[in-house]
Amino acid sequence: MTKRRDPLTFHRALTVVAAQIGWDRCAMITGRSERQVRNWSDPDADSEISILDAMRLDKAFIASGGDHPPFGQVYNALLDIAAAETDADMVKVAAQAAKESGEAVSAFLDAATSRDPAKRRRARKEGEEAVAAITKGLAALDAQERGQERES
């Protein structure tokens, strides 16, 4: 049975990298045993990947054709979520995320069919607002989980 690796975790980021470049190459890049590297991807293991090893693996992932740095993406998202204002009303947060995302998609499509710099600027603005709304939603989820843990 495959162990679950939650989204926005370094455990999952490592499995994304390993799927692209292989566990053996991850071990070679970090100078660790393959067993150690696999342990870093296990949420129940005591060891964790270092920031330097994560950066090395991100670089290797991108060099092998990856379109983003998996560890960097998780790291940045977690920092953004920690800094985001939270709202306990998940329905309100979800509605705002849907609104902003829809506006971003519309602006992207509009910019895709035009050479107008103003339309590209609007698409970037709408995209930024959508990312902020979704980040706020993730922060609200985290706050909700913390509240449930305290109740237990």
* Mean pLDDT of all residues belonging to the chain: 93
**Residue 146: predicted pLDDT:** 79
Phi then psi for 67, rounded to 5 degrees? -100, 5
* Side-chain-side CA neighbours of residue 51 (13 Å): 3
Region 23-38: what's the mean pLDDT? 98
State the amino acid at position 87 in one-letter form.
D
The answer to whether the pTM exceeds 0.85 is no
Top-confidence residue, 39 or 84: 39
Mean pLDDT of 83-96: 87
Domain coordinates of the chain in residue numbers?
A: 10-76, 85-151
pLDDT score, position 149? 65
The answer on pLDDT for 136 being more than 80 is yes
Q: Where are the alpha helices (DSSP H) in the chain?
A: 10-21, 23-30, 34-40, 51-63, 70-83, 90-112, 117-151
